[in-house]
Chain A
Amino acid sequence: MNEMDMVVNRLPVKTWNHLHMNESSLKAVHIAGEGALRAAGPKLKPDESLSRAFDSIAGGVGRDLDLLAAQAGVKVASFTSEAGGTEPLKLQLSYGEGDAVMNRIGLTVREGQRLDVIMDYRSEPLAKGLAAVQTKIHVHTGGRLRLIQLQRMGDKYTFINDIGVQCEEDGDFELIQMVFSGHRTYMGCEAALKGDYSTFKGDIAYAVSGEDSLDINDVVRHMGKHTECEINAAGSLSNRARKLFRGTIDFAKGAKGAVGNEKEEVLLVDETVVNQTIPLILCAEEDVVGNHGATIGRPAEELLFYLTSRGISVEEAYRILKNAKLEAVCTKIWDETVRQELLDFLHEGQLCDDAMKEDRTNGEA
């Protein structure tokens, strides 16, 4: 059994070591095989060139994941857009107890074409295991990829979700990531906006509670002229949860006229949570605009008063506000079926809250 110690989600430029935000580490990671990938929707042809060049596109989680995949012999399942295709490609990975699996997925959008993809990761609520998914994307000139990733993993699952994307001229990449549950989640996305006028838009929503943690590393490299990016992360932390968000906008020399914005909104439900945020803007070009903003804290007294004045308890008000962070991103989901399924999931109280977790733990004991 080959085990590997990994460094993941490395910040492109280091900050103070004592802050423990430069990178994260995973000990003795072992991959036993590939997860059972179910694909539905259009029958798309593979792209052998992307499969061969898979490692040349950097992912946000970092190179150690490429090494782990090579060590475990994980193959690339690739999909290429078709002219006039409108039906979304749906990829589902369901994990079981004791899994230690990894998948590599390649997505290619040919010149002037469009591709919509929905990736759904889930496991049984009490399952324990480790899963990793690497998605590498190449958006050719004038192409557009819209990707939705949904994560509903068990309370004891470690999940590594890596994305690497390369956009050519006028290529657009839109990403929506929703993290509903999972014990240890490491998410990284690196987008290289190589072509002029290429764009990246990322929306991340999460609800982290209990002893769970979420570790994010998003990097956008503006290389082409007039490239644009927007990163919005919003979520809630409750009951000892931890979250670390690294958001880097890197303006390379020559990226004239590029614009990058990143924004984070974090609802801290109580004082036991640990929230770390490191927005980073790197500038090697003068003619650029970069902005970052963050709203982090407990809900305003005025807001809580308004909600409770309608007979809603403080606990329920917090639940509503936690769901609101997810719902705000849900409404951006372009697939009506998925959007409605998630809204129902939230409205019916299926989002695992602290009380549910305690019940599960007590039930196990």
Chain B
Amino acid sequence: MSQELLKVEQLFVEVEKKQILHGIDLQMNAGETHVLMGPNGAGKSTLGYALMGNPKYEVPGGAAVFQGEDLLAKSTSERAQAGLFLSFQNPVEVPGVSLGSFIRSAMEQRGEKISLWNFRKAVRKQMELLQMDESYIDRDLNVGFSGGEKKKAEILQLLMLKPALAILDETDSGLDVDAVKTVSLGVEEYQKNQNGALLIITHSTRILESLHVDYTHVLVNGKIVATGDASMIEEINACGFERYIDRA
């Protein structure tokens, strides 16, 4: 029997008193990959932010249980320590904090003690996979990074922090074909070697080409209007979201 990882029931989310999500139901098991698709403005990123605990996103109703615990009762850092990860679409720049020291601090905060030597060795291996220049480890976090390097830095954090569930928010947006391939390699590594579960938020299908997808959900106007298997992705790719819009 598959182990239940995340169960979201009737989740309502507001931003500045405006309701964005209207009763989301979602269930994920350990190691599964779910894809959340939908047109622009459907509320896909909102779900990611709300689950991660962004204070701008209020949850007036509903429940979310993660690894058997009430996710909504936890602070953002507690959610991350419990094994949840959000890859940001536009990660902020943090001058004065190097990418390496940031990842190491995050690992230490999760109770993972690692010597500097072993940390460097581990991070170098993942950077090689992501075709990232090693110098980025000592550069200020996201400062002056190109769009592609920012996305790679997010996936590097994913690989180093090894969460149980990663929410990837439009990770492939703004990337050229080669960069998508490289980022996909990193996501594949996480999926295969760490048995990580993925909730991939996207409105394109490029990043999904090399991944095994278990479920596909379509979100329109704050509601999940359809759920199916990986074949839905090809169908959406060919016909778009038009047939789902009427269902919202």
Contact A306-B91, Cβ < 8 Å, known A311-B80, A324-B96, A328-B96: yes
Bits for B78-89, please: 1 = Cβ < 8 Å to A, else 0.
Answer: 011100011010
Chain A residues contacting B224 (CB-CB under 8 Å) are: none
Nearest B residue to A234 via CB reads B96
Interface size range on A against B? 20 to 34
A303's partner among B75, B94, B102 (CB-CB below 8 A) is: B94
A-B contact count (CB 8 A): 79
Chain A residues contacting B95 (CB-CB under 8 Å) are: 324, 328
Instruction: Please tell me if A308 contacts chain B, counting CB pairs below 8 Å.
Output: yes
B102 touches A310 (CB 8 A): yes
Instruction: Please tell me if B7 contacts chain A, counting CB pairs below 8 Å.
Output: no
Chain A residues contacting B81 (CB-CB under 8 Å) are: 311
- With the chains together, A248 CA to B65 CA distance in Å? 57
Instruction: Please tell me if B101 contacts chain A, counting CB pairs below 8 Å.
Output: yes
Q: How far is the CB of B125 from chain A (nearest CB, A)?
A: 20
B92 touches A311 (CB 8 A): no
Residue among A306, A314, A316 having the largest count of chain B Cβ atoms under 10 Å: A306
Chain B residues contacting A327 (CB-CB under 8 Å) are: 96-98
Instruction: Please tell me if B52 contacts chain A, counting CB pairs below 8 Å.
Output: yes
Residue among A303, A310, A316, A328 having the largest count of chain B Cβ atoms under 10 Å: A310
A303 touches B80 (CB 8 A): no
Nearest B residue to A265 via CB reads B95
- With the chains together, A323 CA to B80 CA distance in Å? 23
A320 touches B91 (CB 8 A): no
A312's partner among B77, B85, B91 (CB-CB below 8 A) is: B77
Bits for A306-337, please: 1 = Cβ < 8 Å to B, else 0.
Answer: 11111111101000110111111000000000
Contact A312-B96, Cβ < 8 Å, known A301-B56, A306-B88: no
The segment from B16-24, B30-38, B105-113 found at the interface with A is B105-113
B55's partner among A301, A306, A324, A328 (CB-CB below 8 A) is: A301
Q: How far is the CB of B88 from chain A (nearest CB, A)?
A: 7
B109 touches A313 (CB 8 A): yes
Instruction: Please tell me if B161 contacts chain A, counting CB pairs below 8 Å.
Output: yes
Chain B residues contacting A313 (CB-CB under 8 Å) are: 77, 109
A305 touches B105 (CB 8 A): no
- Interface on chain B toward A: helix, strand, loop, or mixed SS? mixed
Bits for B153-175, please: 1 = Cβ < 8 Å to A, else 0.
Answer: 00001000100000000000000
Nearest B residue to A302 via CB reads B92
Interface size range on B against A? 20 to 34
Chain A residues contacting B94 (CB-CB under 8 Å) are: 303, 306-307, 321, 324
Q: How far is the CB of B66 from chain A (nearest CB, A)?
A: 14
Chain B residues contacting A316 (CB-CB under 8 Å) are: 105, 109
Instruction: Please tell me if B76 contacts chain A, counting CB pairs below 8 Å.
Output: yes
Instruction: Please tell me if B54 contacts chain A, counting CB pairs below 8 Å.
Output: yes
- With the chains together, A240 CA to B88 CA distance in Å? 35
B96's partner among A301, A307, A323 (CB-CB below 8 A) is: A323
Contact A311-B77, Cβ < 8 Å, known A305-B54, A320-B102, A320-B105: yes
Not counting A313-B77, A321-B94, a sample of 8 additional A-B residue pairs whose C-beta atoms are within 8 angstroms of each other reads A303-B94, A306-B88, A310-B80, A310-B85, A310-B106, A310-B109, A323-B97, A324-B94
Can you name 22 A-B pairs with beta carbons within 8 Å?
A301-B55, A305-B52, A305-B53, A305-B76, A306-B91, A306-B92, A308-B80, A309-B53, A309-B76, A309-B85, A309-B86, A310-B77, A311-B109, A313-B77, A320-B97, A320-B102, A320-B105, A327-B97, A327-B98, A328-B96, A328-B140, A347-B101
- The interface of chain B, by Cβ under 8 A from chain A, is 52-56, 75-77, 79-81, 85-86, 88, 91-92, 94-98, 101-103, 105-106, 109-110, 140, 157, 161
